[in-house]
Amino acid sequence: MSSWIPSLDGVETKLKKGAKVADIGCGYGISTIIMAKAYPNSKFYGFDNHGSSVEKAKDQLRKEEETLGVTINNVEFVSVSANDKSIGNDYDLITLFDCLHDMGDPLGAMKFAVQSLKSDGTCMIVEPMANENLEDNLNLIGRSFYAASTLVCVPNSQAENGPALGAQAGEKKIKEIVNTAVFTRFRRATQTPFNLVYEAKP
């Protein structure tokens, strides 16, 4: 909340006023709930194709409400594919936290994202830190990410006959997918030692 969303062009202002947000691949809903708490005037939808994770997200929301002693009524979790047209096409912001490289059809997900955004909407793609050259990733973080990629990310994509981008996909490959999906603008908005944050616009 302190750096990623503020790095996006005009997004934080929209979220403060009231925006519609889809968190694709929300998993247990942690990212969705954090955003919803930070921007109570906006509505957040957490989507994931893994039904058990969505149930965990709903449980997490209930626990958060019990801890705070209030109802968080601007969050909804739904088990649905990123390519399912039922999620709508009027979002101000679509987020993908650390999931695009795991997908069986990342290009299809990005094509659907661009179709689901308003004309002035934004897609925020958060990916693991990865340099383009293999030798530049041979450090403690890169080695950890390669290990996770080998055991989790690549097999997950391959299980769906996907391209197996893996955790070390790099900016060039992500940009290629975004551009092929016919987003007109793509940039690295910010970065941390662990993450790259990209902004894509229709």
C-beta atoms surrounding 180 within 10 Å: 11
Kindly give the parts of the chain with pLDDT less than 50.
none
**Domain of residue 194, CATH code:** 3.40.50.150
3-state secondary structure of 101: helix
pLDDT of the residue at 80: 86
pLDDT of the residue at 98: 95
Q: Are 190 and 183 in contact (CB under 8 A)?
A: no
Q: What is the mean pLDDT of the chain?
A: 94
Q: What is the pTM of this model?
A: 0.93
Q: Give the residue from 19, 17, 37 showing the smallest Cα distance to 124.
A: 19
With tokens 């101000």, the residue in question is 92
Using alpha carbons, list the distances in angstroms from residue 103 to 48, 71, 83.
11, 33, 11
pLDDT of the residue at 81: 73
pLDDT of the residue at 87: 79
pLDDT of the residue at 83: 64
Q: In terms of residue numbers, what domain contains 146?
A: 5-201
Alpha carbons 201 and 191: distance in angstroms, whole number:
18
Here the tokens at position 134 are: 């293999």
pLDDT of the residue at 1: 87
Count structural domains, the chain.
1
Alpha carbons 200 and 96: distance in angstroms, whole number:
11
Q: Are 185 and 201 in contact (CB under 8 A)?
A: yes
Number of H helices, E strands in the chain: 7, 7
pLDDT of the residue at 82: 61
pLDDT of the residue at 19: 98
**Residue 156 — φ and ψ, nearest 5°?**
-60, -45
